[in-house]
């Protein structure tokens, strides 16, 4: 299974429920975001994940750091 380490930063505390799972920064409602499937701090490739893991929002900058192929559009 293709996967990549999430390497998240737990220090910032999000102020809203719309935040990036990797950097924990809030994502403004008018800003695009993507969805990652995470299992045990690993981001699973959308084509390989099946029923494994849980979906989380990720900001565009972090989505690019992970590799865009490891996330999918928000809607």
Q: CB-wise, 32 or 50, nearer to Zn ion?
A: 32
CA separation for the pair 4, 27 (Å, rounded): 22
- C-alpha to C-alpha distances, 15 to 9, 10, 12, 22, 30, nearest whole angstrom: 15, 13, 9, 15, 16
Q: CB-wise, 23 or 43, nearer to Zn ion?
A: 23
Min. distance of Cβ 4 from Zn ion in angstroms?
14
Q: CB-wise, 9 or 48, nearer to Zn ion?
A: 9
Min. distance of Cβ 43 from Zn ion in angstroms?
12
* Residue located via tokens 């505390």: 13
Min. distance of Cβ 37 from Zn ion in angstroms?
16
Tokens of 18: 């719309």
Tokens of 26: 């809030």
Residues engaged in binding Zn ion (CB under 5 A): 20, 22-23, 59, 62
């Amino acid at each position: 299974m293709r996967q990549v380490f999430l390497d998240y930063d737990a220090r910032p505390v999000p102020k809203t429920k719309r935040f990036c799972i990797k950097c924990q920064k809030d994502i403004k409602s008018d800003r695009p975001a993507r969805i990652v499937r995470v299992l045990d701090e690993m981001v699973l490739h959308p084509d390989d994940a099946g029923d494994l893991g849980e979906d989380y929002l990720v900001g565009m900058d972090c989505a690019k750091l992970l590799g865009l192929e490891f996330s999918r559009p928000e809607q």
